[in-house]
Structure 1
Amino acid sequence: MKHNRTIQMRMLATITLLLTITCTQVFATTPGKVVGGKSFDTPTWFKDSFLEIADDVDEANESGKHVLLFFHLNGCPYCEQTVNQQFQKEPLKSFMQEHFDSIEINVRGDREIAMTEEITTTERVLAEYLKIQGTPTIILLNGKNQVVLRLAGYRSTRALQQAFNYVQQMAYLETSFSDYKRANMQYGQYQFIADTLIETVSDFSSIKEPVALLIEDDDCDDCATFHNKLISRAEIREQLEQYRFIRIDGKSEELITDFNGRRISPRDWAAELKMDYRPGIILFDEGKEVARVASLLFPFHFEHLLRYGLNKNYLKYNRYGELMRARQEELFARGIDTNVGKPDDW
């Protein structure tokens, strides 16, 4: 009898301890939150537009300018970097003021905007109609209210200047932006950085597992940051280790074999893939593209882009942002903050 009472007392103590731990976990944890967002003000010299874009285009055309549409989001760290570190500083500030009528559009805004006589809607719906999937996105229009260049994501100052030159010179009448960039490349600006995860492959035709294709060349502003600040992080390497992480030289003319068994140069393959950003990342699974990034991402976003290409997550979620938000909710419930901005050690 005494033995049974002892067992009962031990069981009661164990249950009490478990309940205490569970209650502590449930009630003592403060929900996590998003950190790293950055507030910013669009430049005062942006046009105070009535958001009748066809009229804006006509006015810009009369002044020998193009219209620049800047799609942004409140708290977007990439937008803040673009505005404060580029638009508000020379040489871009003076160049933009001289050659562009710049108009800001909030992708979650409710202001009415008339893109054409046929299309009048809100900022939010227009962003969806134009398939704006990330901020900032810059759209440049010609004198006929037609898109001549679209830039998604953060770009270096030199890359933006090159894009703006392309439009200001009206080079779009003669050539694509990709060909324009190739004709104006600089050489020796960047030397490839070795990494134990990176492979060099000349035949992709038999690869069925997930591939993270890295496209670099020696005319790259962001490649050193990509290696030294982004893929050096433990959480990023943990995801990359589940890929075949393969680098090709976007300038190379040496023939390789692509996923479909074709012989093609990396230069031509990158052009065919329409990847003119460096370092460009394209994710493949079973030889099919599932996602890409054509701008420099901060760690949390890049980690979830990589997660999206693994375990068939691209079949479960329409976009990597949906996967990211789902995981954020899981982390918040565990009291973990998610930093969507630039880390302090960047």
Structure 2
Amino acid sequence: MLRAAVAGLAFALLGALAPAWAEDLLPEPAVGDNGLHIQDWFVDSFLDIGEDLAEAKAQGKGLVIIFEQAGCPYCREMHQVNLRRPDIVAQIKETFHVVQLDLRGARETTDTDGEKLAEGKLARKWGVAFTPTLLFFAKDADPAGNPANMAASAIMPGYFKPFHFASMFDYVASGGFKHAHFQDFIVERRERMRAAGKDVTLWE
């Protein structure tokens, strides 16, 4: 009886300590015919990267290009964990336009150097070999006629847990990438959040 009471108290305390977002996750995203997860707030792009950069800049935002592929377990994790967090999604929508590309896709894209090629070939041109890979462009990024990846402010090479994932968006949006390494920025951000009384969970 005592053991059951202690266990019940432990679960109650864990519930009380859980962050607010844990009680209000966004709905699970659907999967499209191409095998990629659907987020209705991603930009419905004509896949002209220069135009995407210009449109984002006109709204005072940066651009993120996400390469995914069907059957990618870490892409699924990104969508079912990170992108179901309302706090993370709100942060991204406030500061970035997001364009989703298929690592093996055949849709025509236009790079900022004017070259037209299938999205899968664009991935190879940019050196993207696995998924998810996210390329970040600050709102003042300027490829200046070169391939867009040469102007990337930061690259996320794979799946990051929620805190690190959100931190990368903050790292670019705040301009932190211009003067600090990402690991140093994470430490500073963690301490700022804790000083403000916010719960910080690094590896869940």
The aligned residue for residue 158 of structure 1 is: 163
- Give CA deviations for 1:144-175 in whole Å, capped at 9, x if unaligned: 14201101111111111111111111122323
Displacement after TM superposition at 1:91 (Å): 1.3
Match of 1:92 among 88, 97, 107: 88
TM-score, normalised via structure 2 length: 0.68
| Alignment of structure 1 residues 262-301 onto 2, 5 Å | none
Structure 2: where are the runs of 5+ without partners? 1-34, 144-150, 192-200
Contact 2:164 2:202 in 1 (8 A): no
The aligned residue for residue 122 of structure 2 is: 126
The aligned residue for residue 178 of structure 2 is: 173
Letter in 2 for 1:104: Q
SS in 2 for 1:116: coil
SS in 2 for 1:105: strand
Displacement after TM superposition at 1:141 (Å): 1.0
Matched-pair identity in %: 25
Letter in 2 for 1:105: L
RMSD: 1.9
Cα separation, partners in 2 of 1:40 and 1:59, compared to 1, 3 Å: closer
Displacement after TM superposition at 1:58 (Å): 1.0
2:104 is the counterpart of 1:104: no
Cα separation, partners in 2 of 1:113 and 1:94, compared to 1, 3 Å: same
Contact 2:106 2:120 in 1 (8 A): yes
Cα separation, partners in 2 of 1:105 and 1:40, compared to 1, 3 Å: closer
2:51 & 2:114 partners in 1: Cα distance?
A: 14
The aligned residue for residue 72 of structure 1 is: 68
The aligned residue for residue 54 of structure 1 is: 50
Letter in 2 for 1:151: M
Q: Aligned pair count?
A: 152
Question: Relative to total residues, which structure has the larger strand share, 1 or 2?
Answer: 1
Larger radius of gyration: 1
TM-score, normalised via structure 1 length: 0.41
1:119 & 1:101 partners in 2: Cα distance?
A: 22
1:113 & 1:52 partners in 2: Cα distance?
A: 6
